[in-house]
């Protein structure tokens, strides 16, 4: 698969077994792998590439997938994602026509190989596999929509999927049922509101017939016509069918890659590259409990401005609620305990901190009996001894909104504009900056609002997908300022 002057290892033999005769390689590449403008990446790549290409091509594809995930976590619309990703595609993975046949061949080769390289990177855990499938599916959708109608049909036919376009005679037989089934979709997806426009569209639309189990999601929404075990889908919905097939294919192939991955254990050339790519290639975040920035975190220092001024707004809200009431309800305790764990507060210091707060409203005995166990459990020292991870923004936003007297959740979602503005002003933001952040949150871009605050406070332009990421970046900025002084 790749070429290098370094020694061959036992793991290399696994790649050699997949080689084809070099004399037929060009024909295989041009006629089988890279003939279409789009691909399901069904066949493995063959031939050799250099280690430099192996890493560089993967990094270029990761840049595109990162941008897709970044836009997704900021709740961007598909159109916004598409407008952002297309320039990156032209820069890093161009597949447009070119007068230079060799350049076009190299571009297609880069696209094909980079996909399979990243399969190795993201196959090892379910979280990584899900992330890869989600982002690659969006990339596939963007590319499919850039094809002409003719190229779309050529590509679909090349896949040999279990689809058949029905004949005009069959359409006429089921005409009434087909129209009733797609009428709601015509209104909500294509904005066709009057019966004449719907009928006109229907008369010119082709329909796809396939086994109903292939579209169980559409069946559950009652948006298709079923007859004798077959589902009838209008052609304008074919992209969703393709995406379902693509996701299913990727899921199966990633599991196969995960099972085969141990065979690479002896190859000391690519494993470090794969590890680096998979741990530094996405906008997810894992707190480092033992980083240099956590060395001064303890039950007393949390109260100091030096530490808590770096809290994101959600953590500040939790701390303020605890300071006011000397008690937090279960979801809030979980959220704040895990956040403090993530910034480096040890179990002993956490017990001291929570005991100090709670015993201002309850007895020490009650705290020990009703609350200490849960804190130790959160740190993985009781019960199943699971090392629970601090909640990321996605998890926090999945929890119920806080009721009166509760402090958990995301302030950018849960606070009204007036209270949110007051909190942002208390963080030191100017009136104009406060208005900008409130406007972002009012559009439902909650992580985008927090990202904007991080940028305004530290100058760091990084998507906030985790409260602990916000804290760590603020601490890094704080340390740099102290060094300058």
Q: Are 270 and 54 contacting, i.e. CB atoms less than 8 angstroms apart?
A: yes
Burial of 313 (0-12, 13-18, 19+ CB in 10 A): buried
Rounded distance between C-alpha atoms, residue 321 and residue 361, angstroms: 13
The beta strands (E) that lie in 137-287 are given as 164-165, 207-211, 225-227, 230-234
Handedness of CA 357, 360, 364, 366 (dihedral sign): negative
Q: How many CB atoms lie within 10 A of CB 138?
A: 21
Q: Are 389 and 380 contacting, i.e. CB atoms less than 8 angstroms apart?
A: no
Handedness of CA 232, 235, 240, 245 (dihedral sign): positive
DSSP 220-263: HTT-SEEETTEEEEEGGGHHHHHHHHHHHHHHHHHHHHHHHGGG
Q: Are 319 and 304 contacting, i.e. CB atoms less than 8 angstroms apart?
A: no
DSSP 96-130: S--S-HHHHHHHHHHHHHHHHHHHHHHSSSHHHHH
Rounded distance between C-alpha atoms, residue 65 and residue 182, angstroms: 34
- Residue 233: what are its φ and ψ, rounded to 5°? -120, 135
Quote the tokens at residue 217.
Answer: 């999601």
Rounded distance between C-alpha atoms, residue 159 and residue 246, angstroms: 11
User: Maximum CA pair distance of the chain?
Assistant: 82
Query: Pairing relation of β-strands 164-165 and 49-50?
Result: unpaired
121 is in an annotated binding site: no
Q: Which residues line the annotated binding site? A: 314, 393, 410, 450
Q: Which residues line the annotated binding site for [4Fe-4S] cluster? A: 314, 393, 410, 450
């Amino acid at each position: 698969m790749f070429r290098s002057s370094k020694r061959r290892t036992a793991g290399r033999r696994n790649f050699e077994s997949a080689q084809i005769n070099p004399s037929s390689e060009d024909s295989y590449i041009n006629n089988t792998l890279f003939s279409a403008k789009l691909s399901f990446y069904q066949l493995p790549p063959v031939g050799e590439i250099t280690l430099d290409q192996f890493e560089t091509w993967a990094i270029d594809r990761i840049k595109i997938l990162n941008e897709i995930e970044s836009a997704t976590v900021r709740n961007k619309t598909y159109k916004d994602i598409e407008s952002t990703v297309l320039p990156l595609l032209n820069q890093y993975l161009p597949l447009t026509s070119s007068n230079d046949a060799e350049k076009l061949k190299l571009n297609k080769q880069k696209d094909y190989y980079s996909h399979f390289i990243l399969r190795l990177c993201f196959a090892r855990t379910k979280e990584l596999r899900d992330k890869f499938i989600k982002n690659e599916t969006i990339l596939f959708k963007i590319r499919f929509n850039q094809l002409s109608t003719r190229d779309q049909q050529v590509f679909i036919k090349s896949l040999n999927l279990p689809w058949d376009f029905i004949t005009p005679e069959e359409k006429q037989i089921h005409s009434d049922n087909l129209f009733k089934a797609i009428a709601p979709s015509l209104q909500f997806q294509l904005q066709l509101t009057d019966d004449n426009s719907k009928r006109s569209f229907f008369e010119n639309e082709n329909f796809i017939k396939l086994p109903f189990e292939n579209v169980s999601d559409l069946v559950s929404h009652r948006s298709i016509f079923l007859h004798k075990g077959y589902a009838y889908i209008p052609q304008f919905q074919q992209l969703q069918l393709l995406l379902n097939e693509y996701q299913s294919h990727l899921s199966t192939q990633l599991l196969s890659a995960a099972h085969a991955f141990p065979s690479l254990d002896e190859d000391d050339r690519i494993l470090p590259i794969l590890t680096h790519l998979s741990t530094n290639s996405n906008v997810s975040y894992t707190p480092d409990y033992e980083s240099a920035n956590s060395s001064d975190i303890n039950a007393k220092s949390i109260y100091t401005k030096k530490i808590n001024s770096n809290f994101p707004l959600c953590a500040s809200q939790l701390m303020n609620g605890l300071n006011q009431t000397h008690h937090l309800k279960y979801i809030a305790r979980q959220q704040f305990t895990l956040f403090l764990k993530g910034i480096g507060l040890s179990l002993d210091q956490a017990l001291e901190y929570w005991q100090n707060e709670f015993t201002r409203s309850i007895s020490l005995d009650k705290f020990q009996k009703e609350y200490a166990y849960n804190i130790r459990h959160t740190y993985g020292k009781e019960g199943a001894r699971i090392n629970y991870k601090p909640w990321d923004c996605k998890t926090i936003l999945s929890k119920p909104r806080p009721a009166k007297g509760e402090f958990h959740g995301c302030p950018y979602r849960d606070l009204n504009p007036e209270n949110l503005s007051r909190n942002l002003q208390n963080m030191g933001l100017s009136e104009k900056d406060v208005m900008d952040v409130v406007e972002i949150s009012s559009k439902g871009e909650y992580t985008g609002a927090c990202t904007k605050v991080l940028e305004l406070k530290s100058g760091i332009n990084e998507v906030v997908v985790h409260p602990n990421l916000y804290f760590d970046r603020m601490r890094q900025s704080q340390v740099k300022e102290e060094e300058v002084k």
